[in-house]
Amino acid sequence: MDYQFLADAGLYESHEEAIKREEVLGRLDQTVKLWVKNVSRAKGYNEAMVHEANAKIFTFGSYRLGVHGPGADIDTLCVGPKHASRNEDFFGELHKMLLEMPEVQELHSVPDAHVPVMKFKFSGVSVDLLYANVSLWLIPEDLDISQESLLQNVDDQTVRSLNGCRVTDQILRLVPNIQTFRTTLRCMRLWAKRRGVYSNVTGFLGGINWALLVARICQLYPNALPSMLVSRFFRVYNLWRWPNPVMLCPIQENSLGLSFWDPRRNYKDRLHLMPIITPAYPCMNSSYNVSTSTLRVMMEEFQRGNEVCEAIEANKVSWDALFVPFSFFEAYKNYLQIDIAAETDEDLMNWKGWVESRIRLLTLKIERDTNGVLQCHPHPGEFSDKSKPFHHSYFMGLRRKQGSSPQEGEQFDIRMTVEDFKRDVYAYSFWKPSMWIHVCHVKRKDIPVFVFPGGVRPNYVRSASEGRSVQKSLRSNSPQADAAMMRKRRKHDDHSRGFSLTESSSTTMCSDATSFEPNLGGNISNVKFPEDIPHNGTEIPGLSTTFGASSGSLAMEKPVIELSSPILGHQSPSKIPDDIVGVQLKSETLENGDSKGIKPFVSSTEEEQALGVATAGNGADFCSTIPTNRDLEELEPLGLPVTTHGLSNTSSVETQKPVIRFSFTSLAKATGNSA
């Protein structure tokens, strides 16, 4: 793998585009400086104060990390003085100024988001602009946002906005070789997008999550080249014992008293499945959106990536095999299709953003109402039918949980689940009657053609590919063969020889639906909802949920984190180092009762690695599932209400609304053959 490979994949922008981005940032910085002076003058400050008034633009995300590609947006932060408020001045006056500028297009404000943001295009360059209202009267040009004192006396939105920049800068400080880190991260971002697991909003991982995972591998292998780091990435995370956390540095407490990630103190911190901890104070879990279903998908992709890298090291395949796009619409037999529509471009943009932030709720609700047996694989992007203006479609693959035994005639009635999800979506504060959503079940053979490249459904021959071994599938380097390999690996999960996933004969295919009225088809029968669903979801094979000490003793200990970061050079491809698997946390308490540390504790034997257990005497095992304190837009499994048969839960649903029913029956009985 070299620069040319990445360049051929289109991962580098042209020199002209780089210059244009710098010009846009300069112009934006001038705009916010003029804005803050206007605000100061309007609020009655004297001319000397107006002259000194200042605001400053910082960058973060992929642009700051140096891994952005052509057409990527720029994540920016405006830091303003204490007298320039967020709602009245930033989303008021600055919004008006940008609206009047001819070079600004598609301006869209989201003031009620978890991290309030303004989105727009500036001279054709996409920009996401956050605002931090710090407790300073004057903003110096040489402001250092890494100073924790900036977090004093500010609101939560400012803390979250500042931490985007603070985390990005801290990552660059903690990696041993920035250029190697950047090249490796570009590769992993490309891989994640090709394999359909690059999307924070749908429950996978976003840019900052992948950056943290790659940075940890760079720490473990400080002398390795990017090709070696990519291979070790898959080897390490294929064996990682989630929910053990990934951390780049110790988690430090601070006198500011801000809440930080600590599963011993915060019960909700035990509920996340895949904790990836940010390195800047206050340290938080950046991957709180991950669900049981999306974790399963990512673990399967890590396994596949590890197998491909082993084949590459054996000179059996080329690097192209690793980046083969995932054939989403060939991987499952059954899908949910979610259609949305609006009347205008602006309404569709607003409605689309809201629905996308809610889609992961449908995954959580389905997991909840089927006791985790029915798992979802959301596609991270939307599709559009050109014949239907102001219309988008989303898809979710459906399958049975690994290891669950199908029962004859077993059905999954998720009608009430879908209605519950739609009620949440229609609760949008700015909803209009023209904003519409429709959810239905569609089989693989009935997937609408507009989702395929060129509008042509690819030919699929089951017998020609499903019998291939993993290595043969890798050699083919085709999406079809790759999907066949994934199906072959999953056949014991789906019990493909023991059941079939079918829908009720009366269920309507939404690919043929033309009415704007939601219609799933079918009749209601055997509607069952669990009365008591575990808050932490269903068990994932390989995940430990035990603690090394009782909850009482944990509550008495004050945490400190000391990171064990071994210096590892190039490693033999035949064996993963013993000190990077099964990471646990242990806490040490001084004789006077003060906290000495919560530190990542690593197991040293193969048996301990396999079990993912800590061997420290008072080791506190943070093998738990995790959500931090979030608002409504970041719903946690704990926040999902349990649906019952009560009238209060069903009175708002029309009695003739259809049911999505999946029947798992014995294929052997249906065909008269033995499995």
Per residue in 314-363, pLDDT (tens digit) is 999 999 999 999 999 999 999 999 999 999 988 998 899 899 989 999 99
Residues 274/346, Cβ–Cβ less than 8 Å: no
pLDDT at 497: 33
Query: Whole-model pTM?
Result: 0.72
**Cβ neighbours around 83 below 10 Å, total:** 16
Q: What is the mean pLDDT of residues 617-645?
A: 34
pLDDT at 252: 81
Statement: residue 541 has pLDDT above 50: no
pLDDT at 301: 97
pLDDT at 673: 44
Label residue 187 left, alpha or beta by phi (over 0 means left) and psi (-120 to 50 means alpha): alpha
Q: How far apart, in whole angstroms, are the C-alpha atoms of residue 217 and residue 215?
A: 5
pLDDT at 1: 63
**Cβ neighbours around 447 below 10 Å, total:** 21
The mean of the pLDDT values for the chain is: 75
Statement: residue 26 has pLDDT above 70: yes
pLDDT at 549: 31
Per residue in 367-401, pLDDT (tens digit) is 999 988 999 999 999 999 988 999 999 999 999 88
- Give the lowest-confidence range in 189-198, 450-459, 495-504: 495-504
Candidates 91, 88, 118; CA nearest to 105 is 118
Per residue in 572-628, pLDDT (tens digit) is 333 434 444 333 444 333 333 344 334 443 333 333 343 343 323 333 333 333 333
Q: What is the mean pLDDT of residues 69-76?
A: 92
- 552 Cβ contact partners less than 8 Å away, ≥ 6 residues apart: none
Statement: residue 23 has pLDDT above 60: yes
| Phi, psi dihedrals of residue 468, rounded to the nearest 5° | -75, 150
Statement: residue 530 has pLDDT above 90: no
Statement: residue 524 has pLDDT above 70: no
pLDDT at 638: 34
Candidates 163, 230, 157, 160; CA nearest to 192 is 230
- Give the lowest-confidence range in 115-119, 145-149, 400-404, 427-431: 400-404
Distances (CA, A) of 368 to 189, 196, 361, 604: 31, 24, 10, 37
Q: Sorting pLDDT into bands at 50, 70 and 90, what band is 121?
A: very high
pLDDT at 460: 63
pLDDT at 532: 30
Q: What is the mean pLDDT of residues 248-274?
A: 88
Statement: residue 560 has pLDDT above 90: no
pLDDT at 488: 53
Per residue in 446-466, pLDDT (tens digit) is 999 999 988 888 876 443 333
Distances (CA, A) of 42 to 56, 81, 466: 20, 14, 70
pLDDT at 612: 40
Statement: residue 268 has pLDDT above 60: yes
- 107 Cβ contact partners less than 8 Å away, ≥ 6 residues apart: 95, 98, 99, 118, 119, 120
DSSP 325: P
Residue matched to tokens 């919004």: 95
- Which residues are bridge partners to 27 per DSSP? none
Percent of the chain with pLDDT over 90: 54
Q: Sorting pLDDT into bands at 50, 70 and 90, what band is 151?
A: very high
